[in-house]
Structure 1
Amino acid sequence: MFPASDPAPLAELVSRARALASAGPRQLLGITGAPGAGKSTLAGLIVSALGELAELVPMDGFHLAEVELQRLGRHARKGAVDTFDGAGFVALLRRLRAAGPGTVYAPEFRRELEEPVAGAIPVPPSVPLVVVEGNYLLVPGEPWGEVRELLDEVWYLDLDETERLRRLTDRHIAFGREPVEAAARARGTDQRNAELIADTVGRADLVVAMAPSTPL
């Protein structure tokens, strides 16, 4: 485990992921943490470094569709744990873990549409490591509690709270929100989600301290 005061060296994380890829017919690595901690960036760097040995499957592909969030009255809380198809996510992880003879297709969340797109990420049977990135990989309770059992390792990303909120606010602005609205979102719905996620850190195999000065 990396001490909370030390930034995680990328080379060591890549080496650890590479070793995991060679540990069996197929391994699943989870990368989790609060919104804005750097999950998607780190996951992308790991997969890029490993090339054909790894494929990235983000949890965000299991966002409920806009029309369904409206029907359920949850649209204002989009991103909260109950705005995802948790059972569908678990079912996909089971298929990925089984590593059958055929390609498994995962959904992808498209920001330009604000919708998930089915069958967008192919995971061929030859890929020995699937990197799964998302907020709620360590949340207990059904159906999310099953996720931890299906992942061989889970890394929890820890970033200075001030820096995390700054990055998250900037992200919302980049996605088209006005600065005031972006800050309110980061400190409102997103913060409640972050507090839920923070309570799960004890279930991680590795706590990765993120350096505020880097894009991770």
Structure 2
Amino acid sequence: MEDTFKHQGKRKLLAEKLAAKGIKDKAVLEAIASIPRHLFLDSSFEDHAYQDKAFPISSGQTISHPYTVAFQTELLEVQKGEKILEVGTGSGYQAAVLHHLGAKVYTIERQHKLYKKTATFLKKIGYSPKYITFGDGYKGIKTYAPYHKIIVTAGAPYIPKDLMAQLKVGGRMVIPVGEDPQIMTLLIRKDAKKFEKHSFGEFRFVPLLENKN
């Protein structure tokens, strides 16, 4: 669990690279420069942790490219104190970024082994979400709805209605939609029934699987 000056220097360079790629939100870049991404990876990948690459984690899942994490987070327009639902806890890196930005993070993971491992790990390194649970991401976490923001970190063939229903009016949902590749999609809830939709190009995610628990 060591975080050296070398690691910190690599994170700073990574944040600079993401800024050069078009990430403008200074708070997001500061989060990338602060959070020890190497701790979220298998030790065999540690030397590559601050490259803009995705890497495999347990249960057939991946930790996303830092650019993808930053891009989705920037689209959310996170404000301190907001309730944010994350669908797909994975390694916990995205949840840590949201936590660092001051959000109250509620996160759900469908892989039980990964859920247990990540819940313990995030608490250990000080990025524990407000609530983390095991379950079907398509259903969200109704108990704590509505949410100011929702982020989905797996590719969904369609936008789940349960997630749309759990978004506050004025809230934003960022979700990759489609098979392979997916289209990064932003939904803004305008009122009880109306959603404004924006598209932001192609990305690749592991699939968001339904009814697997």
Instruction: Using structure 1 for the length normalisation, give the TM-score.
Output: 0.29
Higher relative contact order (CA 8 A, sep 6+): 1
Which of these two proteins has the greater Rg computed from alpha carbons? 1
More helix by share: 1
The structure richer in strand per residue is 2
